[in-house]
Amino acid sequence: MMPDPSDHLADRHFSAIAAIIESRVGIRLPAGKRIMVEGRLRKRARALGLAGARGYGAHLFEDGGLADELVHLIDCVTTNKTDFFREPSHFEFLRNVAVPQLQQRKDTRPASLKIWSAASSTGAEAYTAAMVLQDLANAGAPIRFSVLGTDISTEVLREADMAIYPSAFVAPVPMAMQQRYLMRSKDLRQDLVRIAPELRCKVRFERLNLMDESYPFDRDIDVIFCRNVLIYFDGTTQKAVIQRLVSHLRVGGYLMLGHSESMAGSGIPGLQQVAPTIYRACPTALGRSAA
Protein backbone atom coordinates (compact mmCIF):
# COMPACT_ATOMS: atom_id res chain seq x y z
CA MET A 1 0.00 0.00 0.00
CA MET A 2 1.33 3.41 -0.98
CA PRO A 3 1.65 5.89 1.90
CA ASP A 4 -0.83 8.76 2.06
CA PRO A 5 1.02 11.71 0.44
CA SER A 6 -0.38 13.96 3.16
CA ASP A 7 0.97 11.76 5.97
CA HIS A 8 3.99 13.51 7.43
CA LEU A 9 5.34 14.18 10.87
CA ALA A 10 4.45 17.58 12.22
CA ASP A 11 7.50 19.84 12.06
CA ARG A 12 7.67 20.06 15.86
CA HIS A 13 7.50 16.28 16.15
CA PHE A 14 10.33 15.71 13.67
CA SER A 15 12.46 18.31 15.48
CA ALA A 16 11.74 16.63 18.81
CA ILE A 17 12.61 13.17 17.44
CA ALA A 18 15.83 14.49 15.91
CA ALA A 19 16.81 16.07 19.23
CA ILE A 20 16.07 12.88 21.17
CA ILE A 21 18.03 10.66 18.79
CA GLU A 22 21.05 12.97 18.79
CA SER A 23 21.11 13.25 22.58
CA ARG A 24 20.49 9.55 23.28
CA VAL A 25 22.31 7.88 20.40
CA GLY A 26 24.60 10.53 18.94
CA ILE A 27 23.11 10.19 15.45
CA ARG A 28 22.14 13.39 13.67
CA LEU A 29 18.92 13.53 11.66
CA PRO A 30 19.08 16.56 9.36
CA ALA A 31 16.09 17.59 7.28
CA GLY A 32 17.38 15.47 4.41
CA LYS A 33 16.71 12.33 6.48
CA ARG A 34 13.07 13.22 7.15
CA ILE A 35 11.53 11.10 4.38
CA MET A 36 13.60 8.08 5.48
CA VAL A 37 12.55 8.58 9.11
CA GLU A 38 8.88 8.93 8.22
CA GLY A 39 8.99 5.77 6.12
CA ARG A 40 10.39 3.77 9.01
CA LEU A 41 7.97 5.24 11.52
CA ARG A 42 4.97 4.35 9.35
CA LYS A 43 5.86 0.67 9.72
CA ARG A 44 5.97 1.03 13.49
CA ALA A 45 2.71 3.00 13.41
CA ARG A 46 0.99 0.14 11.58
CA ALA A 47 2.19 -2.30 14.26
CA LEU A 48 0.56 -0.08 16.91
CA GLY A 49 -2.63 0.54 14.92
CA LEU A 50 -1.87 4.25 14.58
CA ALA A 51 -2.67 6.56 11.68
CA GLY A 52 0.68 6.81 9.93
CA ALA A 53 3.71 8.92 10.78
CA ARG A 54 1.57 11.87 11.87
CA GLY A 55 -0.40 9.66 14.24
CA TYR A 56 2.82 8.16 15.59
CA GLY A 57 4.22 11.62 16.36
CA ALA A 58 1.02 12.53 18.18
CA HIS A 59 1.21 9.26 20.13
CA LEU A 60 4.75 10.10 21.30
CA PHE A 61 4.36 13.72 22.23
CA GLU A 62 0.69 14.40 22.81
CA ASP A 63 -0.65 11.10 24.16
CA GLY A 64 2.22 10.34 26.56
CA GLY A 65 3.61 7.37 24.61
CA LEU A 66 7.28 8.38 24.47
CA ALA A 67 8.46 6.64 27.65
CA ASP A 68 7.20 3.22 26.60
CA GLU A 69 8.07 3.72 22.94
CA LEU A 70 11.61 5.15 23.21
CA VAL A 71 13.44 1.86 22.59
CA HIS A 72 11.26 1.15 19.55
CA LEU A 73 11.79 4.69 18.26
CA ILE A 74 15.56 4.17 18.45
CA ASP A 75 15.19 0.81 16.70
CA CYS A 76 13.26 2.47 13.88
CA VAL A 77 15.74 5.21 13.04
CA THR A 78 19.02 3.38 13.65
CA THR A 79 20.74 2.32 10.44
CA ASN A 80 21.74 -1.35 10.48
CA LYS A 81 23.70 -2.06 7.31
CA THR A 82 25.82 -5.18 7.66
CA ASP A 83 27.26 -8.03 5.58
CA PHE A 84 29.30 -11.16 6.12
CA PHE A 85 33.00 -10.55 5.37
CA ARG A 86 32.42 -6.83 4.91
CA GLU A 87 35.78 -5.11 4.36
CA PRO A 88 37.53 -8.50 4.05
CA SER A 89 41.03 -7.11 4.59
CA HIS A 90 40.19 -6.81 8.30
CA PHE A 91 39.50 -10.51 8.56
CA GLU A 92 42.68 -11.33 6.63
CA PHE A 93 44.56 -9.18 9.16
CA LEU A 94 42.80 -10.98 12.01
CA ARG A 95 43.85 -14.37 10.63
CA ASN A 96 47.35 -13.59 9.41
CA VAL A 97 48.63 -10.90 11.78
CA ALA A 98 46.51 -10.26 14.86
CA VAL A 99 45.99 -13.83 16.04
CA PRO A 100 49.63 -14.94 15.56
CA GLN A 101 50.85 -11.86 17.45
CA LEU A 102 48.28 -12.25 20.22
CA GLN A 103 49.35 -15.88 20.61
CA GLN A 104 52.85 -14.77 21.56
CA ARG A 105 51.89 -14.05 25.14
CA LYS A 106 54.19 -15.14 27.89
CA ASP A 107 51.93 -17.85 29.30
CA THR A 108 52.08 -21.30 27.77
CA ARG A 109 48.38 -22.08 27.94
CA PRO A 110 46.24 -21.93 24.79
CA ALA A 111 45.40 -18.31 24.07
CA SER A 112 41.85 -17.35 25.05
CA LEU A 113 40.95 -14.58 22.63
CA LYS A 114 38.17 -12.08 23.25
CA ILE A 115 36.62 -10.36 20.24
CA TRP A 116 34.07 -7.54 20.44
CA SER A 117 31.84 -6.43 17.57
CA ALA A 118 30.79 -3.05 18.95
CA ALA A 119 28.08 -2.27 16.39
CA SER A 120 27.01 -5.77 15.56
CA SER A 121 23.64 -5.17 13.92
CA THR A 122 22.16 -8.57 12.95
CA GLY A 123 25.36 -10.43 13.77
CA ALA A 124 27.16 -10.88 10.45
CA GLU A 125 30.38 -9.26 11.68
CA ALA A 126 30.47 -11.24 14.93
CA TYR A 127 29.81 -14.55 13.19
CA THR A 128 32.36 -13.76 10.48
CA ALA A 129 35.03 -13.29 13.15
CA ALA A 130 33.93 -16.54 14.77
CA MET A 131 34.26 -18.41 11.46
CA VAL A 132 37.80 -17.11 10.96
CA LEU A 133 38.87 -18.05 14.49
CA GLN A 134 37.21 -21.46 14.39
CA ASP A 135 38.97 -22.21 11.11
CA LEU A 136 42.29 -21.42 12.79
CA ALA A 137 41.42 -23.64 15.75
CA ASN A 138 40.37 -26.47 13.42
CA ALA A 139 43.72 -26.13 11.64
CA GLY A 140 45.55 -26.73 14.90
CA ALA A 141 46.09 -23.23 16.28
CA PRO A 142 46.17 -23.44 20.10
CA ILE A 143 43.39 -20.92 20.68
CA ARG A 144 40.08 -20.65 22.44
CA PHE A 145 37.84 -17.69 21.77
CA SER A 146 34.63 -15.88 22.57
CA VAL A 147 32.86 -13.15 20.62
CA LEU A 148 30.68 -10.38 22.05
CA GLY A 149 28.31 -8.47 19.80
CA THR A 150 26.62 -5.27 20.97
CA ASP A 151 24.14 -2.91 19.40
CA ILE A 152 21.63 -0.32 20.54
CA SER A 153 18.77 -1.89 18.57
CA THR A 154 16.88 -4.62 20.39
CA GLU A 155 15.29 -5.73 17.13
CA VAL A 156 18.54 -6.52 15.35
CA LEU A 157 19.94 -8.19 18.48
CA ARG A 158 17.02 -10.62 18.46
CA GLU A 159 17.84 -11.46 14.83
CA ALA A 160 21.52 -11.87 15.67
CA ASP A 161 20.74 -14.23 18.53
CA MET A 162 18.49 -16.34 16.30
CA ALA A 163 21.30 -16.46 13.68
CA ILE A 164 18.90 -17.23 10.82
CA TYR A 165 19.55 -15.51 7.48
CA PRO A 166 18.33 -15.66 3.87
CA SER A 167 20.66 -17.75 1.71
CA ALA A 168 21.44 -14.76 -0.49
CA PHE A 169 22.66 -12.81 2.53
CA VAL A 170 25.44 -15.32 3.27
CA ALA A 171 26.73 -15.34 -0.32
CA PRO A 172 30.00 -13.55 0.69
CA VAL A 173 30.90 -16.46 2.98
CA PRO A 174 33.42 -18.74 1.23
CA MET A 175 31.81 -21.99 0.16
CA ALA A 176 34.04 -24.12 2.38
CA MET A 177 32.95 -22.09 5.40
CA GLN A 178 29.31 -22.31 4.34
CA GLN A 179 29.61 -26.07 4.34
CA ARG A 180 31.22 -26.10 7.79
CA TYR A 181 29.29 -23.42 9.65
CA LEU A 182 25.87 -23.00 8.02
CA MET A 183 22.85 -25.29 8.33
CA ARG A 184 20.32 -25.27 5.50
CA SER A 185 16.61 -25.12 6.26
CA LYS A 186 14.84 -28.45 5.82
CA ASP A 187 12.03 -26.55 4.15
CA LEU A 188 13.65 -25.63 0.83
CA ARG A 189 10.87 -23.15 0.09
CA GLN A 190 12.16 -20.91 2.89
CA ASP A 191 15.69 -20.67 1.47
CA LEU A 192 17.15 -19.92 4.91
CA VAL A 193 20.34 -20.86 6.70
CA ARG A 194 21.32 -20.85 10.37
CA ILE A 195 24.73 -20.50 11.99
CA ALA A 196 25.87 -23.87 13.32
CA PRO A 197 25.70 -24.48 17.11
CA GLU A 198 29.51 -24.85 17.14
CA LEU A 199 29.74 -21.10 16.53
CA ARG A 200 26.55 -19.88 18.18
CA CYS A 201 27.73 -21.15 21.55
CA LYS A 202 30.82 -18.92 21.32
CA VAL A 203 29.01 -15.73 20.38
CA ARG A 204 26.76 -13.70 22.65
CA PHE A 205 24.85 -10.47 22.08
CA GLU A 206 23.98 -7.66 24.47
CA ARG A 207 22.42 -4.24 24.14
CA LEU A 208 24.76 -1.26 24.44
CA ASN A 209 24.49 2.42 23.62
CA LEU A 210 27.94 3.64 22.58
CA MET A 211 26.94 7.04 23.96
CA ASP A 212 26.91 5.63 27.51
CA GLU A 213 29.58 7.03 29.81
CA SER A 214 30.98 3.56 30.52
CA TYR A 215 30.66 0.05 29.11
CA PRO A 216 30.02 -2.94 31.44
CA PHE A 217 32.43 -5.33 29.72
CA ASP A 218 35.87 -6.83 30.26
CA ARG A 219 38.95 -4.65 29.95
CA ASP A 220 41.16 -7.28 28.37
CA ILE A 221 39.58 -7.49 24.91
CA ASP A 222 41.95 -8.60 22.16
CA VAL A 223 40.21 -7.20 19.08
CA ILE A 224 37.42 -4.63 18.84
CA PHE A 225 35.56 -4.04 15.59
CA CYS A 226 33.79 -0.67 15.54
CA ARG A 227 33.10 -0.16 11.88
CA ASN A 228 30.80 2.13 9.94
CA VAL A 229 29.00 3.54 12.97
CA LEU A 230 31.26 6.44 13.92
CA ILE A 231 30.36 8.18 10.67
CA TYR A 232 26.98 9.02 12.23
CA PHE A 233 28.62 10.88 15.14
CA ASP A 234 30.24 14.30 15.29
CA GLY A 235 34.01 14.54 15.86
CA THR A 236 33.78 15.07 19.63
CA THR A 237 31.53 12.05 20.08
CA GLN A 238 33.75 9.92 17.83
CA LYS A 239 36.77 10.68 19.99
CA ALA A 240 34.90 9.96 23.23
CA VAL A 241 33.60 6.60 21.92
CA ILE A 242 37.04 5.53 20.71
CA GLN A 243 38.63 6.46 24.03
CA ARG A 244 36.07 4.38 25.90
CA LEU A 245 36.63 1.44 23.56
CA VAL A 246 40.42 1.70 23.95
CA SER A 247 40.05 1.42 27.70
CA HIS A 248 38.70 -2.10 27.14
CA LEU A 249 41.61 -3.28 24.99
CA ARG A 250 44.44 -5.31 26.46
CA VAL A 251 47.94 -4.10 25.74
CA GLY A 252 48.74 -5.15 22.18
CA GLY A 253 45.06 -5.53 21.30
CA TYR A 254 43.61 -4.16 18.08
CA LEU A 255 40.88 -1.67 17.19
CA MET A 256 39.46 -1.90 13.67
CA LEU A 257 37.46 0.98 12.21
CA GLY A 258 35.52 1.25 8.96
CA HIS A 259 37.30 2.45 5.83
CA SER A 260 35.24 5.63 5.83
CA GLU A 261 36.47 6.29 9.38
CA SER A 262 40.17 5.76 8.73
CA MET A 263 41.24 9.00 10.44
CA ALA A 264 38.89 8.81 13.41
CA GLY A 265 41.48 7.02 15.56
CA SER A 266 44.33 9.40 14.73
CA GLY A 267 45.73 11.25 17.70
CA ILE A 268 43.91 9.11 20.28
CA PRO A 269 46.19 8.45 23.29
CA GLY A 270 47.07 4.79 23.65
CA LEU A 271 46.72 3.90 19.97
CA GLN A 272 49.38 3.20 17.36
CA GLN A 273 48.20 3.02 13.75
CA VAL A 274 49.44 -0.18 12.08
CA ALA A 275 47.32 0.02 8.90
CA PRO A 276 44.98 2.65 7.39
CA THR A 277 42.00 1.51 9.52
CA ILE A 278 43.70 -0.64 12.17
CA TYR A 279 45.17 0.52 15.47
CA ARG A 280 47.07 -1.28 18.24
CA ALA A 281 46.97 -0.49 21.96
CA CYS A 282 50.36 0.73 23.17
CA PRO A 283 51.62 -0.20 26.65
CA THR A 284 53.49 3.07 27.27
CA ALA A 285 50.66 5.37 26.27
CA LEU A 286 48.09 3.30 28.16
CA GLY A 287 50.23 3.30 31.28
CA ARG A 288 49.99 -0.49 31.59
CA SER A 289 52.52 -3.27 31.39
CA ALA A 290 52.50 -5.85 28.63
CA ALA A 291 52.67 -8.83 30.97
Task: Give the per-residue pLDDT at 285.
Answer: 45
Q: What is the pTM of this model?
A: 0.82
pLDDT of residue 110: 61
Per-residue pLDDT of the chain (291 residues; tens, 9 = 90+): 555 667 899 999 999 999 998 888 778 888 988 998 999 899 899 999 998 999 999 999 999 999 989 888 888 887 667 899 999 999 999 999 999 999 887 454 567 899 999 999 999 999 999 999 999 999 998 899 999 999 998 889 999 999 999 999 999 999 999 999 999 987 777 889 999 999 999 999 999 999 899 999 999 999 999 998 888 788 888 899 999 999 999 999 999 998 877 666 677 888 999 998 999 998 754 445 444
Label each residue of the chain as H, E or C.
CCCCCCCCCCHHHHHHHHHHHHHHHCCCCCHHHHHHHHHHHHHHHHHHCCCHHHHHHHHHHCCCCHHHHHHHHHHHHCCCCCCCCCCHHHHHHHHHHHHHHHCCCCCCCCEEEEEEECCCCCCHHHHHHHHHHHHHHHCCCCEEEEEEEEECCHHHHHHHHHCEEEHHHHCCCCHHHHHHHEEECCCCCCCEEEECHHHHCCEEEEECCCCCCCCCCCCCEEEEEECCCHHHCCHHHHHHHHHHHHCCEEEEEEEEECHHHCCCCCCCCCEEEEECCEEEECHHHHCCCCC
Res 53: pLDDT: 92
Provide the pLDDT for residue 260. 76
Q: Which domains does the chain have, with CATH numbers?
A: 11-77 (1.10.155.10), 88-286 (3.40.50.150)
Q: Which residues are catalytic?
A: 40, 151
- The reported pLDDT for the residue numbered 109 is 58
